Amino acid sequence: MNYSSEMLLVNKYYKIIDIYGEGSNVVYRIVFLPDCDVYRGHFPGNPVCPGVCNIQTIKECTMMLTGKKLTISTIKQCRLTAVASPMICQEIDVRISISPIDKGFTVTATMTDAERTYMEYKGDMVIDSTQH
């Protein structure tokens, strides 16, 4: 499946270095790419991972898990619990758990490393109706 027009951040903002788990529960081990233009603007010399980019990362990982192009329809919870930065947390786990709903999935996700949780997310993503 080709998401080239949709997946704007993979291999630019982050890179997947490992995937483990099965079925509806998968963990994507990612590394943030500090040379990404996002960090030059957010904040030069002290880069911080923007929450919106982390939400997009969760969406992209969920699309890989489901094999479907998805649109976020509802965000029920999104807690940024620690500041993520490519300088302090080079590798993190993006844990995705999905449950089917009408026209899509309820997604529960966290972004963590061995020391802390950076983000907790729960929301609904629907299959993009423009998908062929």
pTM here is 0.91
DSSP string covering the chain: ---TTT--SBTTTEEEEEEEEETTEEEEEEEE-TTSHHHHHS-TTS----HHHHHHHHHHHHHHHHTS-EEEEEEEEEEE-S---TTT-SEEEEEEEEEEETTEEEEEEEEE-SS-EEEEEEEEEEE-TT--
pLDDT (tens place) for every residue of the chain, 132 residues total? 455 455 579 999 999 999 999 999 999 999 999 988 888 887 878 899 999 999 999 999 999 999 999 999 999 999 999 999 998 888 999 999 999 999 999 999 999 999 999 999 999 999 998 755
**Fold held by 14-127:** Thiol Ester Dehydrase; Chain A (3.10.129)
